[in-house]
Structure 1
């Protein structure tokens, strides 16, 4: 795995593995991005808030082990924002390929959304303990606009 650049800014926090913890994580990420010069209405903030919502919801729904929290880390390094969500469930519930869920299905679209919004994403095993980290990166220009095809979020 390539070495990650040293972050210019970093926010990290542990959250309860509950829907309330997932909502709080998303709100704090949006707030921190606003403080870092990516306003709430900027496409980069909106995209990363959506990605955070999906990854934290998955950590709560699929990576939850009773009594264990999930950890979130947000970094800004060079021209990229990176979000990492670590849970304590060692099983990878990530399919090798994605297909659109049945139109009547109420779930199954979260990682499709992450893949569409992020410039890169993946999963890595947790180093020191059981679990995994699901991460996503979004490349941005200095003024906070994504460098990708996120025109629908303008």
Structure 2
């Protein structure tokens, strides 16, 4: 996993991607977001991570995936790795099919997303705007810096 600078909380986990693991990931991420005061983002983030990990299972053959979350400034960032070098494709939804809408769902629930190729496969990076109601005011930020 790459290292980056962050001025906010971070959370990382590594899982073997199996459908039976997804509920545990959702629980763990939801608890972490609640601790960070970002419960308002929990549903969307958990749906996006579930879709991303389902794609890892279906299109990248499962295996291990690294998951990272961090909050920096006005955004919550997520990253999910997989071992496939194939890039995801945004498909037009086919209402007669039971799958194929995952990337459209990710597109709809995030503020933006991108894919970063890596030597081991790729990273799906998504970001979510932190609601202004949970953003600290300038005075609160100063109090944290200068107690």
> TM-score, normalization: structure 1?
0.77
| Aligned residue in 2 for 1:19 | 19
CA contact (8 A) 2:6 2:72 kept: yes
| Aligned residue in 2 for 1:104 | 96
Partner deviation per Cα, 1:9-32 (whole Å, 9 max, x = no partner): 110010012112333222211111
| Aligned residue in 2 for 1:45 | 42
Aligned pairs for 1:1-154 (under 5 A) are 6-39=6-39, 42=40, 44-64=41-61, 68-92=63-87, 94-95=88-89, 97-101=90-94, 103-126=95-118, 129-144=119-134
Larger Rg: 2
Equivalences, count: 132
Instruction: State how far apart, in whole Å, the 2-side matches of 1:88 and 1:36 are.
Output: 30
Structure 2, unaligned stretches of length 5 or more? 136-147
> TM-score, normalization: structure 2?
0.80
CA contact (8 A) 1:15 1:22 kept: no
Instruction: State how far apart, in whole Å, the 1-side matches of 2:97 and 2:134 are.
Output: 35
Instruction: State the Cα RMSD in Å.
Output: 1.9
Instruction: State how far apart, in whole Å, the 1-side matches of 2:91 and 2:7 are.
Output: 31
How has the CA–CA distance of structure 1 residues 22 and 64 changed in structure 2, closer, same or farther, with 3 Å as cutoff?
farther
